[in-house]
């Protein structure tokens, strides 16, 4: 009976420690991975194309703006970038 309780307590503590470690380390890992993706060439070009599309839109050329915006969205999808638009 004593061994069963000991094994149960150790098992519960092990699961708790693993879950605590997951809650601490997984978000940091995911943030770092996203930072790496956001510094990629695709994401850099995505932000540049998005700004260019906004400028074309301000100038009144919506056809050109939509074309550049479409390119920006393609780069956004390709690079798995953080959403800016």
Give tens-digit pLDDT for 18-27.
Answer: 998 889 899 9
**The pair of three-digit structure tokens given for residue 16, joined into one six-digit string:** 């708790």
- How confident is the model at residue 63, as a pLDDT? 93
Segment 24-28 long-range contacts (CB within 8 Å, at least 24 positions apart) = none
Residue pair 75/51 in contact by the 8 Å Cβ criterion? no
Residues 6+ apart with CB under 8 A from 75: 42, 43, 45, 46, 49, 81
**The pair of three-digit structure tokens given for residue 51, joined into one six-digit string:** 């700004």
pTM strictly above 0.85? no
Q: Is the pLDDT of residue 73 over 90?
A: yes
Q: What percent of the chain has pLDDT over 90?
A: 65
Q: Is the pLDDT of residue 1 over 80?
A: no
Q: Number of H helices and number of E strands within the chain?
A: 3, 0
pLDDT tier at 54, thresholds 50, 70, 90: very high
């Amino acid at each position: 009976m004593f061994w069963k309780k000991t094994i149960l307590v150790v098992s519960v503590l092990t699961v708790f420690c693993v879950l605590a470690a997951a809650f601490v380390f997984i978000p940091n890992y995911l943030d770092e991975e996203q930072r790496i993706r956001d510094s990629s060439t695709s994401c850099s070009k995505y932000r540049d194309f998005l700004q260019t599309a906004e400028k074309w839109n301000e100038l009144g050329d919506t056809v050109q703006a939509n074309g550049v915006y479409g390119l920006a969205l393609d780069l956004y999808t390709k690079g798995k970038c953080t959403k800016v638009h």
